[in-house]
Structure 1
Amino acid sequence: MADKLGRYRGRRDPRRTPEPVPELVPEGGGDDTFVVQEHHARALHWDLRLERDGVLVSWAVPKGLPADPRTNHLAVHTEDHPMEYASFEGEIPQGEYGGGTMTIWDHGTYITEKWTDREVKVVLSGERVHGRYVLFHTKGRNWMIHRMDPPAAGWEPPPSPLAAMRPVTRTRPPRDQGAYAYEFAWPGRRAFAYVSGGRLTLRSGADDITAGHRWLRSLGGELGSRAVVLDGEIVTLQGGELYVCYDLVYDDGRSLLAEPWSRRRGALEALAVNGPRWQTAPVWRSGPQDVRRAAREQGLPGVVAKRLDSPYEPGAESAAWVYVPS
């Protein structure tokens, strides 16, 4: 009988990797365990593993499991993994096969509806994933994965195309100062960052400007499986480009356009979008004159006052946002 784990063992040295490398394959269990692992290797992807005849049959899914039945995702068939891998998390050393960080993204049980060499239909019941999926073979090691159920209740696709909300210009801050928060106005190019499946697309107006800003692509990997749409500005500071984000209009299947600014801001801060080439814009809840003075001292064009209760109005020049030159 062929060794189901022969290919797996041939790619791993137990003296150099913490991954489980068992000598024997169990005779089989319930064929009902699944795990999805987030794998920050050379390229971020998610590994879907289904228990079958004593091993975990595995696919690498670059964009993760699709939430929308209108979208199929590539799934690359990889070597069978041992059952012990269902609980594995850790750091695979660089230079080893699959070097990088492995974490469990979801796990649970599944029901098999169909299993052939070219098509696998399953019903997944995990903590994050629930529903019917089909994997179907296309060419070579390439398969596709498709969600057969409607999206989860309340799920919405990202808003696209999306026009930016703009402030009105005034010479003084609003009188009702307690109803507003205050940010710097940034001298840059307005851009929406669409992140899904660890990949980033950058749009400015109707233009896709991703190719010209490859330095920002790592932001997608930083957010992992989180699907978001950020509103912000590409600015040049100290000779280098930086993405400053100041609004969150979509978060993991939910549009935030109708939410008040204060809730959107809270959700943005929870994302902790701060890295070597991107940051969350600072905000102040009071003292507009002090913020205006600080903007002037730093050579920034001014401040923007944003009503705490204001929804996001795509494409509108709205009095809910007030730009005051420094």
Structure 2
Amino acid sequence: MADRLGTYRQKRDAGRTPEPVPDEGPLPRGDDDTFVVQEHHARRLHWDFRLERDGVLVSWALPKGLPDDPRTNHLAVHTEDHPLEYASFAGEIPKGEYGGGQVTIWDRGTYETEKWTDREVKVVLRGNRVSGRYVLFPTGGENWMIHRMDPPVDPDAAPMPERIDPVRPERRERLPRRADAYGFEFAWGGRRSIVFSDRGTTRALDGDGRAAKAPSGLGESLSAHRVVLDGEVTDLEGRETYLVFDLLYLDGRPLVDEPYRRRRELLEGLGLAGPRWQTAPCFDDGEAVRAAAREQGLPGVVAKRLDAPYDQEKADWRLIPVRDS
């Protein structure tokens, strides 16, 4: 009988990786009802989907994770069987080893098999983050597709927009009189960039709607989130950095009609802090921000009305140059 874990062992050195590498021998017997989804930050971010079957975890790599809408199928690359112990594995696979990178458990639970053949695997998942009926089917070689058979997880989810025209501040001579109605940010003097990130895959448009380069690694840090960010690319302490100051779409929810205060709260919740990107600070003291901008050699202050939507006609963004103090 063929060794179901032979390929798995050939690809791993038990002395170098923390992954479970069981010795050859009879496979354990379970109930064929465990599934796990592991988020894997390898060379490219992906999610490993594993189903317990006949003593091993039958495995697929999902570049965009499990689909949450039956209108969209996701690629599922069939990979080698894994040992059952892998269902609880989380940790850092050393760089240079097969699959090197961080592995975390994204979801796990039980499943029921409705059909299992070489041409179709149909299951019902019951996890903490994902549930419902899914089917996997091959499309050629190692490539399969995974399809959600149930209605959308969120029937009210809106698709990510293809483009959003950036709101631009109007130049003013003075800080607004009603300072308590505004948030105050530095004017960085950088290049405007709208970034679209869909489960690790990113693209960017500049302020005029032309294709631009998205910060490397930003999509991976956002993981399974689907977001549209607004910000500036500028030189910060000698390093080109994307400073994010607005969130326009989050996981199926357009936010352009939400007040700026709410958009900032949701943006802060993403915890964006990386080597080439971070959330731009916002303050409630415009005079202090202007003084700091002057000291740091920045062009000015941007005042943004807290209760306003993201709309050029209504947003009320004001650029106050520092020299007009």
After the TM superposition, which of the residue ranges 192-201 and 248-257 deviates more from structure 2? 248-257
Please show how residues 222-237 of structure 1 align to structure 2 within 5 Å.
222-237=221-236
SS at match of 2:316: strand
- What's the RMSD between the two structures over aligned residues? 1.9
Aligned counterpart, 2:293? 295
Aligned counterpart, 1:13? 13
Aligned counterpart, 2:320? 324
SS at match of 1:113: strand
Please show how residues 71-150 of structure 1 align to structure 2 within 5 Å.
71-150=72-151
1-structure distance, mates of 2:9, 2:288: 63
Q: For 1:22, give the aligned amino acid.
A: P
SS at match of 1:133: strand
1-structure distance, mates of 2:316, 2:162: 23
Could you tell me which of 196, 209, 216 is aligned with 1:206? 209
2-structure distance, mates of 1:171, 1:260: 25
Deviations 1:68-89 (A, max 9, x none): 3333222111111111110111
* 8 Å CA contact retained: 1:168, 1:318: no
- State the 1:27 CA deviation: 5.1
Q: For 1:193, give the aligned amino acid.
A: V
Please show how residues 130-209 of structure 1 align to structure 2 within 5 Å.
130-153=131-154, 154-204=156-206, 205-209=208-212
* 8 Å CA contact retained: 2:32, 2:53: yes
Please show how residues 208-287 of structure 1 align to structure 2 within 5 Å.
208-210=211-213, 216-237=215-236, 240-286=239-285
SS at match of 2:228: strand
* 8 Å CA contact retained: 1:91, 1:100: yes
- State the 1:158 CA deviation: 1.8
* 8 Å CA contact retained: 1:199, 1:217: no
* 8 Å CA contact retained: 1:4, 1:25: no
The 3 A distance-change label for structure 1 pair 66 and 237 is same
- Identity among equivalent positions (%) equals 62
* 8 Å CA contact retained: 2:308, 2:314: no
> Structure 2 regions of 5+ residues with no counterpart?
none
Q: TM-score, normalised by structure 2?
A: 0.91
Q: For 2:40, give the aligned amino acid.
A: H
1-structure distance, mates of 2:147, 2:304: 41
Q: For 1:194, give the aligned amino acid.
A: F
**Pairing 1:32–2:33 present:** yes
SS at match of 1:305: strand
2-structure distance, mates of 1:231, 1:319: 14
1-structure distance, mates of 2:163, 2:150: 26
Could you tell me which of 293, 308, 317 is aligned with 2:306? 308
2-structure distance, mates of 1:96, 1:135: 29
The 3 A distance-change label for structure 1 pair 94 and 25 is farther
* 8 Å CA contact retained: 1:165, 1:318: no
SS at match of 1:80: strand
Deviations 1:186-214 (A, max 9, x none): 2122211111221211122432223xx5x
- State the 1:48 CA deviation: 0.4
* 8 Å CA contact retained: 1:25, 1:82: no
1-structure distance, mates of 2:64, 2:73: 10
